[in-house]
């Protein structure tokens, strides 16, 4: 009886986070899931490292030209640096979202959730430390970070609306 009530509690969340898939594909094969987990973990690792250690590194000491120790060398090129941070942030949050979707409902999900939230906090504070205040708009990064979740939600809403419209009787 307990497992049935757990399934009913999880069902609404599964409807949102489960990937949209073609109608002929009913289950994700365990091997495919494992490959996706490894790929998502690799992407999360690479993008986290790229954000914390940006291209060109960081200035090692203050100088006469206004560079401060610890700030990204690449931040002198404002627009490319913003594009790098936005794309890197979207890649990181997408891979983290995929990791959460693939581990949802499995043992130790809470620990994975806590670890990913902590990792995003570390990433955010690292980006804040290496970015000169005048070189990047943090509002853009905070808009980019939830993009994968927002896109998933929009797809879910559209798919739900289409399913609902298909069930309506056609009046003549």
How confident is the model over 20-54, as pLDDT tens digits?
A: 554 444 455 677 888 888 999 999 999 999 999 98
How far apart are alpha carbons 89 and 72 in whole angstroms? 16
pTM of the full predicted structure?
Answer: 0.73
Q: Where are the domains of the chain?
A: 29-59+66-167
Task: Tell me the CA distances in angstroms from 2 to 8, 105, 106, 108, 142, one per residue in order.
Answer: 10, 15, 16, 19, 40
pLDDT, tens only, 45-95: 999 999 999 888 988 988 888 888 888 888 888 888 889 998 999 999 999
Distance CA 37, CA 129 (A): 30
């Amino acid at each position: 009886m307990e497992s049935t009530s757990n399934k009913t509690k999880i069902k609404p969340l599964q409807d949102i986070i489960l990937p949209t898939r073609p109608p002929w594909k009913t289950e994700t094969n365990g091997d495919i899931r494992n490959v996706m987990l490894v790929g998502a973990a690799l992407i999360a690792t690479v993008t986290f490292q790229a954000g914390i250690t940006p291209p060109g590194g960081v200035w090692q000491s203050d100088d006469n030209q206004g560079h401060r120790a610890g700030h990204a060398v690449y931040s002198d090129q404002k627009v490319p640096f913003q594009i790098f941070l936005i794309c890197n942030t979207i890649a990181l949050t997408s891979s983290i979202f995929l990791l959460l979707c693939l581990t949802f409902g499995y043992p130790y999900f809470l620990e994975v959730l806590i670890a990913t939230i902590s990792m995003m906090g570390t990433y955010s504070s690292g980006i804040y430390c290496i970015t000169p205040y005048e070189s990047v708009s943090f509002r853009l990064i905070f808009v980019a970070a939830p993009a994968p979740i927002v896109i998933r939600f929009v797809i879910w809403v559209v798919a739900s609306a289409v399913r609902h419209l298909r069930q309506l009787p056609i009046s003549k």
